[in-house]
């Protein structure tokens, strides 16, 4: 990692050479490798940017950053094993990404007011760090800032408004954290595996709306927690495996407690209430036998994640889910229910009938996923009343063979991958589509122009998506249902996502000018498609939309794309380069993972947060990345685990 960062800095120092003829040369340097002592030394400065500083501490291991320095560059001190204490004055405005990464002897850091930004990975794996003062001028902590600082026992974050993903993950000695009352964002994995964390003032917050997924997972010394009234959502697995958490208070404003948020905590596991309803009508646990369940008069607005989950379907003990899940056959949901959370009824394979209430707007991932190989399920879900439904998650109804037909309302905006896999409605469509003479009869279009699925004949090499389609639902072209084989198909192959996938023959896809969104995994593993022209109408490309399209060489058009989801082009091994639309504002994780031919990528101008770990070590041809200067402090986060030397251009 250090190698490519070093070259990155060299390019940054001479960036004007690439944009004009008057690029400045470094103003202060020494021999980059001083071998006169047993410990190597290196020092370099470019116009106030401290680019390299190794072995410069005094005999006590202390280094005071000179007043001539205005910024500390990426990896400037990385790996300096002699550095024990550093003082960073107000003249420094930015601490770069990975600046002190792996400084294993660093014990104390003083950062004075005036420093405005601390980059991602800045103190990553500083295993001896015990004391650090954060300036009041910093209000954002980037990803992995203190990851693995296993000696850090306490820290005050009383002026920090945003804490990004994994900022304190695996800080195993951390006991006390003081959060700002004005904290607005607490990301995923922030305090995960902080095994000694016992004191955190979460209940005093006034602005935080969501506690991130996995945020406190594995905090085994946490005894009590209060979810304040500002919070609307407790994320997936947020307090999972907090093995001493026995006291929980949840404000009555909380609207969602997601997948297994409190599982494997004494508070959740030992609670014996018939119906554990928290927050604003969120049912998160039921202990009543199916013969006696009566939800009709209960004040329930949300069926929380895993509320009736069959733990045994995932080789867990029954008591860690709804222990009667395998006996549940029918259930009447209250008309007050608006949301059904992730895996709420996952694995309840004996369900026969569920009528969705009129007010339901959101159905989470795997909410009724009861598919279990070898078991023919009968569950039918009646959509007749729910005319306000907006979102259906991935695998939401997988295995509900009793769903013979449905016509989704025009209110539906999103349908995730394999939402209706292994249902009779899906199989019936495929059977009829295989016989259809008209091309338009081979497309399953529902709601307000949502293409749910398409029949692709064995020898078909071109797909023309019908005009009028606004959204291509998740997995629409990514392969056959995991439990279905069309009778006329001879070309059957294994794929990573679908047991039977015949999309290998398709070479050309034509998309309509009406298209706005391409759903998650929509074209997953269409191996023979070589080029895609995205209409200017497209605004959203969802997660894994073109993942594993190994024949794809060119992606053009799409000048108005606003969002590109996680892993959208991952393992497209023949794409040589990519230039984002100037309108793109949101870029997901791992967009180019495994793109072994990609050489040049230009990120959108003016975008300070251009995605996370866009690349990995399999991007072996990557040579040039151009990004906005404002993204500089996140360079480690952006480039991920790339191993080779690359050039980074800041504009």
Instruction: Tell me the pLDDT tens digit for each residue of 546-560.
Output: 999 999 999 999 999
- Torsions phi, psi of 414, nearest 5? -140, 135
What DSSP character marks residue 392?
Answer: E
3-state secondary structure of 41: strand
Residue among 295, 305, 375 at smallest CA distance from 340: 305
pLDDT in tens, 380-426: 999 999 999 999 999 999 999 999 998 899 999 999 998 998 899 98
pLDDT score at 22: 32
The DSSP element (H or E) to which 266 belongs, if any, is: helix 266-269
Architecture of domain 278-403: Alpha-Beta Horseshoe (3.80)
Of 553, 602, 587, nearest in space to 573 by CA: 553
Q: Is residue 482's pLDDT more than 50?
A: no
Mean pLDDT, all residues of the chain: 89
Digit-coded pLDDT (tens) for 137-185: 999 999 999 999 999 999 999 999 999 999 999 999 999 999 999 999 9
Residues in the chain: 651
Q: What does the pLDDT read at residue 6?
A: 34
pLDDT greater at residue 3 or residue 117: 117
- In this prediction, residue 34 has a pLDDT band, given cuts at 50, 70 and 90, of very low
Contact between 139 and 116 (Cβ < 8 Å): no
Lowest mean pLDDT among 169-183, 448-462, 590-604: 448-462
- Please give the DSSP secondary-structure letter assigned to residue 274: S
> CB within 8 A of 637, min separation 6: which ones?
97, 120, 121, 142, 143, 144, 612, 613
Work out the percent of the chain whose per-residue pLDDT is above 90: 75
How many helices, marked H, and strands, marked E, lie in the chain? 5, 46
Tens digit of each residue's pLDDT (9 = 90 or more) over 188-225: 999 999 999 999 999 999 999 999 999 999 999 999 99
pLDDT at residue number 440: 87
Residue 593 predicted with pLDDT over 60: yes
Structure tokens at 359: 């007010």
Between 452 and 4, the higher pLDDT residue: 452
Query: Is residue 531 within 8 Å of residue 511, measured between CB atoms?
Result: no
User: What is the Cα–Cα distance from 209 to 373, expressed in whole angstroms?
Assistant: 39
What is residue 38's predicted lDDT score, i.e. its pLDDT? 52
The whole-angstrom separation of Cα 220 and Cα 238 is: 13
3 state SS for 229-255 = CCCCEECCCCCCCCCCCCEEEECCCCC
**Stretch 623-647: mean pLDDT:** 90
- Residue 651: is its pLDDT beyond 50? yes
pLDDT tens-digit profile of 276-298?
A: 999 999 999 999 999 899 898 89
By C-alpha distance, which of 588, 582, 533, 586 is closest to 560? 582
- Tell me what pLDDT residue 237 has: 98
What's the pLDDT at 626?
94
State pLDDT tens for residues 440-451.
Answer: 898 999 999 999
320 burial type by CB count under 10 A (0-12 exposed, 13-18 middle, 19+ buried): middle
Domain 139-270 annotated CATH 3.80.10.10:
yes
Mean pLDDT of 494-519: 73
Task: Provide the strand spans (E) within 315-449.
Answer: 330-332, 339-340, 353-355, 362-363, 380-382, 391-392, 414-415, 443-446
**In 260-306, at which residue ranges do the beta strands (DSSP E only) sit?**
275-278, 282-286, 302-303
Domain boundaries, the chain: 27-137, 139-270, 278-403
* Token pair recorded at residue 313: 């379907």
CB 537 within 8 A of CB 531: no
Least confident span in 188-197, 314-323, 379-388, 635-644: 314-323
Which one-letter DSSP state was computed for residue 608?
Answer: S
Q: Which range (18-32, 526-540, 551-565) has the least confidence?
A: 18-32
The token pair at 527 is 């191996």
Cα–chain-centroid distance for residue 534?
A: 24
Note the pLDDT of residue 480: 47
Q: What percent of the chain has pLDDT over 70?
A: 90
- Which has more pLDDT, 623 or 6? 623
Lowest mean pLDDT among 53-57, 68-72, 307-311, 525-529: 525-529
What are the residues facing 468 on neighbouring strands?
none
pLDDT-based confidence at residue 39 (cuts at 50, 70, 90): low
pLDDT above 80: residue 491:
no
Choose between 504 and 505: higher pLDDT.
505
Please tell me which residue, 36 or 126, carries the higher pLDDT value: 126
Do 278-403 and 139-270 fall under one CATH topology? yes
Fold topology of 27-137:
3.80.10
pLDDT at position 435:
87
Q: What is the mean pLDDT of residues 1-27?
A: 32
Residues in CB range of 66: below 8 A, 6 or more apart: none
In this predicted structure, what is the pLDDT of residue 374? 80
| pLDDT category of residue 479 using cuts at 50, 70 and 90 | low
Question: Any residues with CB less than 8 A from the CB of 467 and at least 6 apart, and which?
Answer: 512, 513, 514
C-beta separation of 91 from 69 below 8 A: yes
Number of neighbouring beta carbons within 10 Å of residue 144: 28
Q: What is the pLDDT of residue 500?
A: 41
Enter the tokens of residue 21. Answer: 């003829």
Spell out the alpha helix ranges (H) of 28-93: none
Of the ranges 100-104, 207-211, 283-287, 491-495, which one carries the lowest mean pLDDT score? 491-495
- Kindly tell me if the per-residue pLDDT of 478 is higher than 80: no
pLDDT value at 16 more than 50 = no
Return the percent helix, strand and coil in the chain, to nearest 5.
10, 20, 70
């Amino acid at each position: 990692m250090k190698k490519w960062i070093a070259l990155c800095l060299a390019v940054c120092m001479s960036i004007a050479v690439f944009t004009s003829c008057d690029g400045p040369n470094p103003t202060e340097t020494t021999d980059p490798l001083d071998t006169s002592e047993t410990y190597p030394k290196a020092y370099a400065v470019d116009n106030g940017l401290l680019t390299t500083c190794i072995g410069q501490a005094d005999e006590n291991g202390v280094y005071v950053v000179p007043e001539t320095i205005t910024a500390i560059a990426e990896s400037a001190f990385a790996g300096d094993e002699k550095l024990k204490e550093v003082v960073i004055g107000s003249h420094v405005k930015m601490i770069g990404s990975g600046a002190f990464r792996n400084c294993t002897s660093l014990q104390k850091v003083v950062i004075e007011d005036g420093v405005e930004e601390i980059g991602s990975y800045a103190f990553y794996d500083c295993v001896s760090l015990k004391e650090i003062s954060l300036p009041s001028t910093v209000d954002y902590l980037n990803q992995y800032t203190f990851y693995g600082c296993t000696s850090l026992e306490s820290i005050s974050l009383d002026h920090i408004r945003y804490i990004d993903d994994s900022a304190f993950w695996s800080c195993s000695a951390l006991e006390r954290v003081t959060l700002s009352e004005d904290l607005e964002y607490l990301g995923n994995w922030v305090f995960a595996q902080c095994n000694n964390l016992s004191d955190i003032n979460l209940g005093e917050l006034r602005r935080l709306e969501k506690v991130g997924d996995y945020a406190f997972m594995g905090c085994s010394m946490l005894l009590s927690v209060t979810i304040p009234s500002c919070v609307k959502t407790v994320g997936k697995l947020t307090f999972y495996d907090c093995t001493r958490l026995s006291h929980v208070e949840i404000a009555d404003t909380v609207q969602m407690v997601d997948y297994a948020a409190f599982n494997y905590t004494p508070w959740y596991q030992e609670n014996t209430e018939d119906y554990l309803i928290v927050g604003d009508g969120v049912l998160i646990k039921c202990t009543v036998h199916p013969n006696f369940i009566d939800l009709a008069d209960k004040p329930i607005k949300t069926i929380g994640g895993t509320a009736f989950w069959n733990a045994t379907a995932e080789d867990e003990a029954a008591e860690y889910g709804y222990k009667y899940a395998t006996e549940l056959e029918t259930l009447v949901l209250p008309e007050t229910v608006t949301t059904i959370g992730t895996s709420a009824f996952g694995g309840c394979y004996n369900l026969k009938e569920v009528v969705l209430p009129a007010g339901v707007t959101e159905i989470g991932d795997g909410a009724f996923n009861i598919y279990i190989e070898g078991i023919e399920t009968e569950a039918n879900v009646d959509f007749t009343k729910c005319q306000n439904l907006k979102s259906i998650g991935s695998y939401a109804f997988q295995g509900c063979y009793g769903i013979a037909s449905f016509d989704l309302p025009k209110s539906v905006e999103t349908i995730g991958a394999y939402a209706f896999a292994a249902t009779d409605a899906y199989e019936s469509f495929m059977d009829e589509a295989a016989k259809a003479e008209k091309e338009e009869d081979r497309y399953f279009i529902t709601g307000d122009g949502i293409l749910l699925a398409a029949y692709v004949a064995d020898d078909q090499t071109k797909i023309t998506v019908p005009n009028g389609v606004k959204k291509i639902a998740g997995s629409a072209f990514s392969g056959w249902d995991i439990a279905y084989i069309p009778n006329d198909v001879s070309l059957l192959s294994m794929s990573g996502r679908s047991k039977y996938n015949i999309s290998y023959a398709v070479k050309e896809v034509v998309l309509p000018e009406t298209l706005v969104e391409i759903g998650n995994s929509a074209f997953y593993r269409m191996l023979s498609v070589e080029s895609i022209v995205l209409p200017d109408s497209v605004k959203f490309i969802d997660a894994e939309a073109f993942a594993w399209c190994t024949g794809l060489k060119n992606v053009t058009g799409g000048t108005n794309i606003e969002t590109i989801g996680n892993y959208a082009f991952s393992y497209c091994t023949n794409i040589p380069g990519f230039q984002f639309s100037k309108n793109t504002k949101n870029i997901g994780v791992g967009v180019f993972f495994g793109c072994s031919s990609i050489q040049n990528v230009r990120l959108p101008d003016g975008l300070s947060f251009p995605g996370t770990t866009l690349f990995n070590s399999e991007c072996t041809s990557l040579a040039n990345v151009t990004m906005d200067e404002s993204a500089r402090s996140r360079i480690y986060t952006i480039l991920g685990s790339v191993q080779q030397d690359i050039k980074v251009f800041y504009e």
